[in-house]
Structure 1
Amino acid sequence: MPTRSCPALLISAPASHSGKTTVTAALARYWTKQGKQVRVFKTGPDFLDPMLLERASGLPVHQLDLWMMGEDNCRRRLAEAAQEADLILIEGVMGLYDGHTSSADIARLFAIPLLLVIDGSAMAQTFGALVYGLAHYQPDLQVFGVVANRVNSAGHARYLQHSLPEGIHFCGYLPSNEAITLPERHLGLVQAAELSDLDARLDLAAEQLASHGALQLPPPCEFSDPISHKVWDEGLNGVTIAVARDAAFSFIYRDNLQTLQQMGAQLSFFSPLSDAALPEADALYLPGGYPELYLDALADNQTMLQSIRAHVRADKPTVAECGGMLYLLNGLTDQAGHRRELLGVLPGEALMEPHLGGLGVLSAPFPFGEVRGHTFHFSSSQIRAEATLEAAHPVHGKPEPIYQQGRLLASYVHWYLGEQPEACLAWFKPTCSDDVVA
């Protein structure tokens, strides 16, 4: 089996909010400025971190998730990246061992060394105990080194460094500094396009990590091609799909768009916020995002609302995910109690909540096969339509209903279509019959 060699690191931590994205972005920006081609991946279902990591590296960022994608697809992505990159960085999800399939599982399966990011702001020698525990909790993991985040001083950093177990490199530290902190809101990091000073933050983070650490490339890893070779069905030749993409609707996997294009579809991006109408299209894709933050602008764009209503009522294929589904409802009310009427093509109301309404990986059994994805939302909805299917967690958790009315398919689920050409055909091809859709 052919193999490709490339230095690689999987950046993980004990928990969320430790600084994984900041450190990954700092490393990507530093090595990119040294003339290296850095390919970055994001473990787990996430849309916001990849936006920032793309800005840091200057290259597209794809998912790397064993449960959603499968081992062969992950192996294919890594082998393709190793063919062109000087360095592969993979940002983990949550803590190292968290999740139905964890960052540790990926590191072990592909023999990728770990770079641990530890928030050292409120500890000294315990830093080393925490690193030791992460390194030894499960077997067959290689810890290359550790970066200390939110460090108070050079003296504090020395305490942390001297506490480390033998054989684990101290790869430097980032000081506590609001100028490099990436701001957050209820669904995670603020979108990259909304941060006017993002490049300055990334440059400063890279400079500070370089000045407080010994940055060196890790040893090369060997990445083998998958056993199976993907052959794409070009059954979407001649199909134009209008894809919503702006500040209100931006949560979509790159793999989904790539798969649709590989199957022959033409993608026509448009903005429900600022465009007057849908582009000419055979199908419509409304991904998730932040419709609640742009409620007035969406509601005031009456010509766009009329255009989308006409598309749906003509029974043309329409796929709506999470925020895209909220846009379809009669009305959406934000946390301040402000309600606006929206499309009204799916009967119901939604309310933004101060707490999570759904979280976790999900799958649903469609007639053509299982489709996987995830849910993550801070809203509740009362939809006056019968659910045709449910998407369920593989172990536990609240299922999410799936609604189908003619060629309209809507749910809270963010679907992963990178390995699902059958779903792409069933959901987006105009000639598919209703009994194939759901």
Structure 2
Amino acid sequence: MKGFVVSGTGSGVGKTSVTTGLLSLLSKGRKVQAFKAGPDFIDPMYHTAATGRPARNLDSFMLDDDTIRNVVGYASKDADLCVVEGVRGLYEGFAGDGDVGSTAYVAKLLGFPVVLVVDAGSLTRSAAAIINGFRSFDPEVKIAGVILNKVSGRQHSDKLDVAMETYCKGVKVLGKIPKDRENTLGQRHLGLQTLHSFEQKEIEPLERLADPVDLDMLMGIAEECTADLPDSSPYVRRRSGLKAAVPMDDAYSFYYRENIECLEASGIEVRTFRPADGEHLPDADMAYLGGGYPELYADRISSNRDFLDGLENMCAEGKPILGECGGLMTLCSSMTDKSGKEYRMSGVFDAKAEFVDKRHGPTYVLAEAKGNNPLFSGPMRGHEYHYSEVLAHEDAEFCFDIRRGLGIRDGKDGLVRNNAVGTYMHQHALSCDDWAKGFVESAR
């Protein structure tokens, strides 16, 4: 398998803008499969828009080594090239003294070379020092090339050439990208746009940004990779004949691709709909509500009574429902946005969701499913991100004990009623043996 990893010396060096531009350029005439290291929903949306193929996440905290290799092989078996965008800096991971959860860990596991994006703004010799430090830190990580970003002009470019030739012999400089505030994603977009909002005009500026990168040299690095990865299906397969209602629009867009495919592998027909645009809840045996930005569309969601009342009816009938983060808030009785305006929600749970100024996360979660959990059992791994808090009734019942993370309150997560579960935790279906089993059994 041909492939490489795009990493950075830290957050904010422009690797998502550069990676997305490269993905779009490389996809002209090639089938490119993109991946994102770490627990991230936004960047894979850009990757998906750039390549026309669903991007995947690779997280060495949530997934074991064999599963990561299998995910890459399975998703890429008809692709010409794999491109993995890293998370934060190359060596940042779960802990300060290990590389689990880091981009470096994923690169070594897959046997992929690394292309390092360096913010060279105001740097010359120091850029060489940074690159050499990254090269020597872990000899098992192959840094095969660098992209120098935010180069301010001809004089700066010439000095970088001299510094690289003098101090970084053997390092391929794949391109020097001029300082460019216009053709970047910018923080104004990250976290405010979702897959369904994208148009080609959002990708074209990133192509222009990445245009200085030598694609032939980049492909030469990729072709040196000879990774042999398993490509069999990683899912438990069954024939259930069931249907799942899954909202997918600008309000609900945070889903791991594998979670949807896991349901489908169990013979569950996934019926998507757009409740923020007024579409009704489809006839289904279960519902899975992912995260996203329901607070930005709270007025529309609140007015879609077929959707919200339908969820309450499903719960009353004992049909399985899972709500993650934004989905959890939708299952509450009300949602209050940052301006203090309260909107009626489904009322599956006797709880209020309120947005707050403080932020928690993203944080990895270790949880234990309790005996009253209708969908899951045993230890669970996931991640959470809080811009809100859920104020549940003091007698509320919870079905997760939190070993690491925040949850809803007092080390508890997973509001439960009948076969409905609402949690702040985002789960990855392949972090456990048979993620869909509880849905199928509860529906039956």
TM (normalized to structure 1)? 0.89
- Distance of aligned partners of 1:324 and 1:388 in 2 relative to their CA distance in 1, 3 Å threshold: same
Residue equivalent to 1:95: 89
Q: Contact 2:247–2:275 at 8 Å: present in 1 too?
A: yes
Q: Contact 2:289–2:324 at 8 Å: present in 1 too?
A: yes
Residue equivalent to 2:97: none
In the alignment, is residue 85 of structure 1 matched against residue 96 of structure 2?
Answer: no
Of 223, 228, 232, 2:236 maps to 232
| Post-superposition CA distance 1:92-124 (Å, at most 9, x none) | 111111122211111122221111111122322
How far, CA to CA, are the matches of 2:189 and 2:208 in structure 1? 25
In the alignment, is residue 359 of structure 1 matched against residue 354 of structure 2?
Answer: no
User: Equivalent residue of 1:85, what SS?
Assistant: coil
Residue equivalent to 2:437: 425
- How far is the alpha carbon of 1:153 from its aligned partner? 1.6
In the alignment, is residue 388 of structure 1 matched against residue 402 of structure 2?
Answer: no
How far, CA to CA, are the matches of 1:405 and 1:15 in structure 2? 43
In the alignment, is residue 409 of structure 1 matched against residue 403 of structure 2?
Answer: no
Of 241, 245, 260, 1:242 maps to 245
How far, CA to CA, are the matches of 2:385 and 2:363 in structure 1? 7
Residue equivalent to 2:227: 223
How far, CA to CA, are the matches of 1:399 and 1:268 in structure 2? 34
Q: Contact 1:192–1:198 at 8 Å: present in 2 too?
A: no
TM (normalized to structure 2)? 0.88
- How far is the alpha carbon of 1:151 from its aligned partner? 2.0
- Distance of aligned partners of 1:350 and 1:9 in 2 relative to their CA distance in 1, 3 Å threshold: same
- How far is the alpha carbon of 1:320 from its aligned partner? 0.3
Of 188, 194, 202, 1:198 maps to 202
Any stretches of 5+ residues in structure 2 without a counterpart?
Answer: 95-100, 372-376
- Distance of aligned partners of 1:276 and 1:76 in 2 relative to their CA distance in 1, 3 Å threshold: closer
Residue equivalent to 2:117: 117
Q: CA RMSD in A?
A: 2.6
Residue equivalent to 2:388: 379
- Distance of aligned partners of 1:228 and 1:53 in 2 relative to their CA distance in 1, 3 Å threshold: closer
Residue equivalent to 1:58: 52
- Distance of aligned partners of 1:119 and 1:264 in 2 relative to their CA distance in 1, 3 Å threshold: same
Q: Contact 1:247–1:290 at 8 Å: present in 2 too?
A: yes
How far, CA to CA, are the matches of 1:30 and 1:112 in structure 2? 20
Percentage identity across aligned positions? 30
- Larger mean CA deviation between 199-208 and 165-174 belongs to 199-208
Residue equivalent to 2:3: 8
- How far is the alpha carbon of 1:160 from its aligned partner? 2.8
Residue equivalent to 1:436: none
- Distance of aligned partners of 1:121 and 1:191 in 2 relative to their CA distance in 1, 3 Å threshold: farther
Q: Contact 1:56–1:202 at 8 Å: present in 2 too?
A: no
Report 1:27-426 matches (<5 A): 27-33=22-28, 35-81=29-75, 83-100=77-94, 101-164=101-164, 165-185=168-188, 188=191, 190-196=193-199, 197-209=201-213, 215-218=218-221, 219-226=223-230, 230=234, 232-234=236-238, 237-366=240-369, 368-384=377-393, 385-393=396-404, 401-420=413-432, 422-426=434-438
- How far is the alpha carbon of 1:415 from its aligned partner? 0.8
Q: State the AA in 2 paired with 1:389.
A: F
- Distance of aligned partners of 1:229 and 1:249 in 2 relative to their CA distance in 1, 3 Å threshold: closer
Q: Contact 1:81–1:88 at 8 Å: present in 2 too?
A: no
- How far is the alpha carbon of 1:327 from its aligned partner? 1.0
Any stretches of 5+ residues in structure 1 without a counterpart?
Answer: 1-5, 433-438
